[in-house]
Amino acid sequence: MKKINKIKNILFFFSLLLFISFSGCIFGGGENDDLSSKSSSEIERMGWTAFQDGKFNDSEKYFNELTKREDAYLVGHGGLGWTFLKTYSYLNARNEFNKFFSLDSLGVYAPADSMTRDVRAGQVLANSALFGHTEVITSSQGFTANNATNNNWRFRFDRKITVLDIRLLRAVSQVALSNFSDAYTMVRLIDPSFETDINTVEGRLLLVQKIEELIVWLNNLP
């Protein structure tokens, strides 16, 4: 058991590399746009363009403006969540993603909508960074089915972030909660060739080591 706990701790360290690999803090130049004269769709485009350019001060400003608009406040909260993720403000990111869902009381965005899936993925990343393992399991549920929609998911505004990240972080949280059987199922979604007996201590150690290997592999993808 001590060996498993030790490897769990190492695993948590390696899981942080997932955030480092897709984060980058290049702050924008703080353009003085007169946002009141622009439509919400224009500001949304400006926000995601700034996001992709690494100008996170600008993207925060644009998405924050959208949160004040009746026709785009949900988009604003989703964009702010991802912006805060990129600047390592994980608590703020989680709060924004949670606001997206709590404020969408009318179900403007269906579970299958790309916006909903992007925000759910952001929730997984924020919760994992904050070691909210139970919350990771809940927010990642929609990515677990082995189908074309899930298997091909990528974050629209950072193509390096894929369903593999979400499933791997889910597996990390399952191990942290000692749900080895569920973690094994998740790992096999990523690598169907992996086999071990998770009913044994040795098998569980191999499972944890496999997750660690997958984290390193994922961080080295181009």
Segment among 62-66, 119-123, 209-213, 216-220 with least mean pLDDT: 216-220
Q: What is the CB neighbour count within 10 angstroms for residue 104?
A: 17
Average pLDDT, the chain: 89
- Give the start-to-end residue ranges of the domains of the chain: 2-24+36-219
pLDDT at residue 20, as a whole number: 46
Confidence class for position 219, pLDDT limits 50, 70, 90: confident
- pLDDT, tens only, 13-66: 445 545 545 555 555 555 556 899 999 999 999 999 999 999 999 999 999 999
Question: In the CATH hierarchy, which top-level class contains the domain 2-24+36-219?
Answer: mainly alpha
pLDDT at residue 6, as a whole number: 46
pLDDT at residue 220, as a whole number: 84
Residue 115 has pLDDT above 90, yes or no: yes
- pLDDT, tens only, 73-84: 999 999 999 999
pLDDT at residue 182, as a whole number: 97
pLDDT at residue 27, as a whole number: 52
- pLDDT, tens only, 91-101: 999 999 999 99
Return the axis-axis angle of helices 73-86 and 90-103, rounded to nearest 10°: 160
- Burial level of 15, CB count in 10 A (0-12/13-18/19+)? buried
User: Helices in the chain by DSSP H: which ranges?
Assistant: 2-22, 40-52, 56-66, 73-86, 90-103, 114-129, 133-139, 148-151, 163-176, 180-190, 201-219
**Closest by CA position to 25, among listed 96, 93, 91, 83:** 83
pLDDT at residue 11, as a whole number: 54
Instruction: Give the predicted TM-score (pTM) of the model.
Output: 0.87
Confidence class for position 161, pLDDT limits 50, 70, 90: very high
